[in-house]
């Protein structure tokens, strides 16, 4: 059953991903991308990564794509629909996709086959509880549930705290830059 659902959601993700490129109507493209994100989120959920899956929907499908749609709707759709295929863009896209595929293949081929089967290496959550100091995570693990949100939070704010702040600063600089650029310059006599 899980594998059946995997193929269903993989099909949704890829099918709508294809629609993003092929659709002539920009609104259809944007909505297909949102749908593709939802399919991807479902794949995350099937891996027990509830937090990542939900954040995928909340941030990408719920906020980023709404902003995209907001901009697209202000455009003139009719003129966009009438455009014929741009050969340069198609060639560029195919080359880029090929490069990415080669890259993924190179990375994947550098890993040998694992020594144990996934079916044999069962998740032992209660045993994992011994390795954590935080009581709230240990309690969840002993109860047999994976506290994925807490684990993500712990590694993000403890292990990668510095990196997180650097990214935060980067985003702040970007925001300030946008504000400066979009501010109308005052008329100088």
The reply on whether position 145 binds another protein by CB under 8 A is yes
Q: Report, in Å, the least distance between residue 167 CB and another protein.
A: 18
Number of residues that bind another protein (CB under 8 A): 27
The reply on whether position 39 binds another protein by CB under 8 A is no
Token output for 113: 């086959």
Token output for 111: 């890993």
Count CB atoms within 10 A of the CB of residue 93.
12
Q: Report, in Å, the least distance between residue 165 CB and another protein.
A: 16
Computed on alpha carbons and rounded to an integer, the radius of gyration of the chain in Å comes to 22
The reply on whether position 136 binds another protein by CB under 8 A is yes
The reply on whether position 147 binds another protein by CB under 8 A is yes
Q: Which is nearer to another protein, 14 or 63 (CB)?
A: 63
Residue from 63, 99, 101, 167 that binds another protein (CB under 8 A)?
A: 63
User: Which residues, at least 6 apart from 103, have a Cβ–Cβ distance to it below 8 Å?
Assistant: none
**Spatial distance between the Cα atoms of 189 and 187, rounded to a whole number of angstroms:** 6
The reply on whether position 128 binds another protein by CB under 8 A is no
Largest CA distance in the chain: 78
Residue from 14, 24, 70, 94 that binds another protein (CB under 8 A)?
A: 70
The reply on whether position 157 binds another protein by CB under 8 A is no
The long-range contacts involving 127-134, CB below 8 angstroms and separated by at least 24 positions, are: none
At which residue do the structure tokens 């080669």 appear? 102
- Positions touching another protein (CB under 8 A) are 1, 27, 31, 34, 50-51, 54-55, 57-58, 61-63, 66-67, 69-70, 73-74, 136, 140, 145-150
């Amino acid at each position: 059953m899980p594998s059946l659902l995997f193929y269903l959601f993989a099909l949704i993700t890829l099918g709508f991903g294809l629609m993003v490129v092929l659709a002539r109507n920009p609104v259809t493209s944007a909505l297909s991308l949102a749908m593709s994100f939802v399919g991807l989120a479902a794949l995350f959920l099937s891996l027990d990564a509830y937090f990542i899956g939900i954040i995928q929907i909340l941030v990408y499908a719920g906020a980023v794509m709404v902003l995209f749609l907001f901009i697209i709707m202000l455009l003139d759709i009719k003129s966009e629909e009438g455009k014929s295929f741009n050969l340069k863009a198609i060639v560029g896209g195919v080359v880029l996709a090929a490069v990415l595929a080669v890259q993924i293949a190179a990375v994947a081929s550098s890993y040998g086959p694992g020594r144990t089967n996934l079916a044999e290496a069962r998740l032992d959550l209660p045993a994992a509880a011994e390795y954590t100091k935080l009581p709230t995570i240990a309690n969840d693990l002993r109860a047999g549930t994976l506290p994925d949100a807490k684990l993500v939070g712990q590694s993000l704010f403890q292990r990668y705290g510095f990196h997180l702040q650097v990214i935060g600063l980067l985003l702040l600089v970007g925001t300030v830059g946008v504000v400066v650029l979009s501010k109308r310059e005052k008329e100088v006599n």
